[in-house]
Structure 1
Amino acid sequence: MKLLLVLLFATVYAKHEEYSGWKSFYIKPSSHDQLKDLGNLISKLELDFYIHPSLDREGVVLVKPQYQDDFVKFVNEENMKYWIHADDVKIQLDNDDLMMESFQQEARSSKSSSFNYDKYHTLDVIYEYLDSVAQKHSDTVKLVTPATSYEGRTLKYLKISKDNFQSGKPVIFIDGATHAREWITIPTVTYAIHKLVENVTEPDLLDKFDWILYPVVNPDGYEHTHVKERMWRKTRSTDQHVAGKICRGVDINRNFDFEWNTVGTESHPCSDIFPGRKPFSEVETRVVHSIFNEHHQNMILYLSVHSFGSMFLYPWSNNGSLSDRGLQLHMVGIRMADVIHELSLKHFPRYRVGNTALVIDYFSSGSSSDYAHSIGVPLSYTVELPGRGSKGFVLHPRYIKPVVTETWAGFAAGARMAGQLFGSR
């Protein structure tokens, strides 16, 4: 056992070197002007918001060593509240690894299932689960493998229906891991699969709706976060810029053809919000686009799951204006948030619901939720899951099951309300 611990520590502390000297800060703006000023600083100081702040709710921002003095000077001059989240990001990521390994060692002795909700699974295990569900429940589940990723991985999602989408039922589409580092998003989607076909306690949800569940939109990036760079966010393509070999990848959530590359993007490929050389440049984006194209006439609800922040955000992200579905978007968002709140752990903040640009005072373009809404999906949300409960950069595994349970309850309530409002489309 002692030798095992020594080897574990040696392995952990050899990782995450690229983040050595980085700091992360809690930041708590108190006015819309402060939120806007902070947003304007993103490109200048290459800020990486792990959790976007909203009014009177703190966020978490990562700051590279060369910009830390300028960042601290700025927030002091603005009289903005801030405090240290991690004094050295590498050390905190090491601590995250040790925490997860220790927790999972304890959990292994009491768990027999190979796919459970007390750990973050690798891509291989997630794909094995999708394959298994499709095989065991072939009467309702179809595995779709529409393309391969830039690095050659199969893209996989499930279509769940009692009649293979033949009767024109309302369609609900949920996806996760658009941003590779947002690990908690994946179990929320796989748990939805579990509740629809394995532990069916609400049969009306499959009687009345057809479902598309896409747990890992960005498999290359997700794999990369496990083996190399934990905080990686983009795809892993190299063909979108002349410097692509050095600075890989595109932000999928800036790559859709809605006001593409007009606001909230950066032209340099090293940026985490690089939108690519054109809309739908990424195969991962094109697969989501193909789902919209095939089903948008019947699709009534789209939920793109992200982390963190405890928010239901809806269009339009590029300018803060409201669509003609604004009232329904807010009503259904409030319904989902209220159901989640009834089940939520006490120290998780209540979900905020609203227009993306107005809630976080940050404009962006090319998002999947805006694009879906622009082509006629009436209810389209970016869902930011809760991130409290851990000091580091990963939600503690002990909170995976509570989060997926409460999130599914919210999604189920949202589906039913969406059906009442738009089921006759």
Structure 2
Amino acid sequence: MKTVVVLVACVLGMAVARPDLHTHLYGAQVLRVVPEEAAQVYYLKGLQLQNYFDFWTEPRAIGSPVDIMTTAFQIPLLKHTLTHVGLEFRTMISNVGELVAQQKAAREGARASGPLSLDWTSYYDYEEIMAWLDTLATEYPELCTVEEVGNSYEDRVMKLLKLGKGGADKPIIFIDGGIHAREWIAPATVTYIVNELVTHSDTYDDLLSNVNFYVMPVINPDGYAYTFTDDRLWRKTRSPTNSVLGCRGADPNRNWSFHWNEVGASDSPCSDIYAGPEPFSEVEMRNVRDQINKYADNIKSYLTFHSYSQLWMYPWGYTSDLPEDWQDLDDLAVAAVEALTAVHGTTYEIGSSTNTIYAAAGGSDDWAKGEAGVKYSYTIELRDTGRYGFLLPEDQIIPTGEETFEGVKVVANFIRDTYSP
């Protein structure tokens, strides 16, 4: 196995950083492999650490699919190295650049047709989403208030939406999305959920009267903005690092202080899973942390939205051990997923993060439960299971929102029934 990894390093000139994928997307492909033995899992983990290929899903166990994106130039090399270790592969996406171009055309077409309004038939950039939050506060002052809660590294204003009817001393569900920049369906789904609650507030009068929703649709503003302007598949923040190669950013979901950098993260600034130089090195995560700490006494559930893989997960991510109250977490997750699946038949896997996907310390859900004391802390990985991956088409935004909203309602109703005075 070692000789293969070394071969990759030699052929690619011992570089540590991947090439800028924004300029190499045409002809890029996503290949899926399914390791059948432990040695193949080990090989894939070693290959990931080389930072030459973009691992859309991480190697975790025998039988678990691993999706790897490679530029057109690197396709023959990747296929050769996979074949050398007996890994069969199939092409999930034959031309990443074409899908990116289609999304760009759809966005431009939507904006050319008239004044902007979020209708969930397109993906929206950071400024558009923040403007929409302000519009909600103006048009629904009895329901919505918006607070500025800090700035990103590149000085983008981060906002918190407070949604509810009357009174602050109620149980809170804290919702965020967009911690990984390229996962566009996450902010789209979070805003869809907000819109359903706001525009159908009479239907959800009892829920909104007894539960507050505190929402930050995009908590990695700079990275998210960068995916619209420079690199559609950027994952991290955009802060500078000490890399001599100019690599930027940390993985914001490896940057939280609870068991930081113990497992499933990297010390290399050029890695997509770089944990940062220290816990909470990223100002954006400090801003979110401060809001959760500020309201921790009332926050009863934390929901953080990601993509992709269709998973509803609870802590822990740093260990395969389960929290003492795991059965409570699992029972609520099962009920939420049953409601979700009933809408369009979409299936989700349920379990702890480590036992469902892989061990990764420094995540926001672990921190919310382990340090902030939020009992019902969940990471929800949205559609799909790899057909499009991070490039989920616009026509799946509304169906994803519809089904996810039903799952969130189950959580919200449970929080109301359990914690409301």
Give runs of aligned pairs for residues 159-178 of structure 1, distance below 5 A. 159-165=162-168, 167=169, 169-178=170-179
| 1:183 paired residue number | 184
**Kindly tell me: are residues 390 and 80 of structure 1, through their superposed partners in 2, closer, same or farther at Cα, counting changes over 3 Å?**
closer
Structure 1: state its 5+ residue gaps: 1-14
CA–CA distance in structure 2, aligned partners of residues 120 and 37 of structure 1: 36
Contact 2:238/2:250, CA 8 A, preserved across alignment? yes
1:354 maps to a residue whose letter is G
| 2:231 paired residue number | 229
CA–CA distance in structure 1, aligned partners of residues 110 and 222 of structure 2: 30
Give runs of aligned pairs for residues 72-87 of structure 1, distance below 5 A. 72=79, 75-76=82-83, 79-87=86-94
Contact 1:140/1:164, CA 8 A, preserved across alignment? no
Local SS of the residue matching 2:285: helix
Of 382, 402, 420, the residue aligned with 1:385 is 382
Contact 1:340/1:407, CA 8 A, preserved across alignment? yes
2:230 maps to a residue whose letter is K
RMSD: 2.9
Give runs of aligned pairs for residues 25-174 of structure 1, distance below 5 A. 25-29=31-35, 38-44=44-50, 46-52=52-58, 58-63=65-70, 71-72=78-79, 75-76=82-83, 79-87=86-94, 91-98=95-102, 101=105, 105=109, 114-165=117-168, 167=169, 169-174=170-175
| 2:368 paired residue number | 372
Measured after TM superposition, the shift of residue 287 of structure 1 is: 1.2
Local SS of the residue matching 2:369: helix
Contact 2:51/2:271, CA 8 A, preserved across alignment? no
Contact 1:251/1:273, CA 8 A, preserved across alignment? yes
For residues 77-115 of structure 1, give each alpha carbon's deviation from its aligned partner in whole angstroms, at most 9, with x where no partner exists: 66544212234xxx4223432355258748976x98721
**Kindly tell me: are residues 128 and 329 of structure 1, through their superposed partners in 2, closer, same or farther at Cα, counting changes over 3 Å?**
same
**Kindly tell me: are residues 365 and 234 of structure 1, through their superposed partners in 2, closer, same or farther at Cα, counting changes over 3 Å?**
same
Measured after TM superposition, the shift of residue 30 of structure 1 is: 5.3
Of 193, 201, 204, the residue aligned with 1:202 is 204
Local SS of the residue matching 2:362: coil
CA–CA distance in structure 2, aligned partners of residues 274 and 266 of structure 1: 5
Query: What percent of counterpart residues are identical?
Result: 31
2:223 maps to a residue whose letter is G
Measured after TM superposition, the shift of residue 213 of structure 1 is: 0.8
1:178 maps to a residue whose letter is I
CA–CA distance in structure 1, aligned partners of residues 386 and 264 of structure 2: 29
For residues 200-230 of structure 1, give each alpha carbon's deviation from its aligned partner in whole angstroms, at most 9, with x where no partner exists: 2222221221111110111111110001011
TM-score under structure 1 length normalisation: 0.85
Contact 2:26/2:96, CA 8 A, preserved across alignment? no
Residue 336 of structure 1 pairs with residue 336 of structure 2? yes
Contact 1:93/1:393, CA 8 A, preserved across alignment? no
Measured after TM superposition, the shift of residue 42 of structure 1 is: 2.1
**Kindly tell me: are residues 69 and 364 of structure 1, through their superposed partners in 2, closer, same or farther at Cα, counting changes over 3 Å?**
farther
Of 403, 409, 414, the residue aligned with 1:412 is 409
Measured after TM superposition, the shift of residue 302 of structure 1 is: 0.6
Measured after TM superposition, the shift of residue 367 of structure 1 is: 0.3
Give runs of aligned pairs for residues 313-352 of structure 1, distance below 5 A. 313-344=313-344, 346=345, 348=346, 350-352=347-349
Local SS of the residue matching 2:236: coil
Measured after TM superposition, the shift of residue 195 of structure 1 is: 1.9
CA–CA distance in structure 2, aligned partners of residues 392 and 171 of structure 1: 31
Structure 2: state its 5+ residue gaps: 1-20
Measured after TM superposition, the shift of residue 260 of structure 1 is: 0.7
Give runs of aligned pairs for residues 246-257 of structure 1, distance below 5 A. 246-257=246-257
Contact 1:24/1:85, CA 8 A, preserved across alignment? yes
Local SS of the residue matching 2:226: helix
